[in-house]
Homo-oligomer: A and B are copies of this chain.
Amino acid sequence: MNSEKIRALLAGVDLRATTQRVALLKELLEQAHPLSVEKLTQGMGNALDTATVYRTLDTFEEKGLVRKVELAQGRALYEHAGEHHHHIVCTECGVIQDVDVCLPKSVQGTVQRASGFANVNEHALEFFGVCKKCA
């Protein structure tokens, strides 16, 4: 993914293409799985300040560029917001993998009726197991 495409992505959501934003978005696109702020920062050679990474990720999330994934104990993970999908986590080593399984479409409607909520917009689904390497 070259810089121009990344700058176009930023322009598409009305964000100034700062050096830091380009670097961070590139990192998120290249590492196509959920990453902690620490890993992201390391991946960019510690060039960005931690506070900047947090603020930028928040901005990206508001613009729909990234998704925040709360899987790990005590630290948030972020991934580029491609198509809707879920994850499976190894309870031994913590490795995270995408899965393409999702809920039957009818479920959110069922939940809405059963819960009495005015509407149901999203869901999060994670599986936990043991990966081959750890088994």
Interface of A, helix, strand, loop or mixed by DSSP: mixed
**Is the pair B134, A130 in contact by a Cβ cutoff of 8 Å?**
no
Give every chain B residue within 8 A of A120 (Cβ-Cβ).
88, 127-129
Within 8 A of B (CB), among A92-118: 97, 99-101, 103-104, 107-108, 110-112, 114-118
Q: How many A residues face the partner with a CB closer than 8 A? A: 36
A114 to B99, CA, bound (A): 7
Confirm or deny: A119 has a beta carbon within 8 angstroms of a beta carbon on chain B. Answer: yes
Q: How far does the alpha carbon of A112 sit from the alpha carbon of B134 in the complex, in Å? A: 14
Report yes or no: B114 in contact with A101, Cβ–Cβ below 8 A.
Answer: yes
**With a CB–CB cut-off of 8 A, which chain B residues contact A99?**
111, 114-115
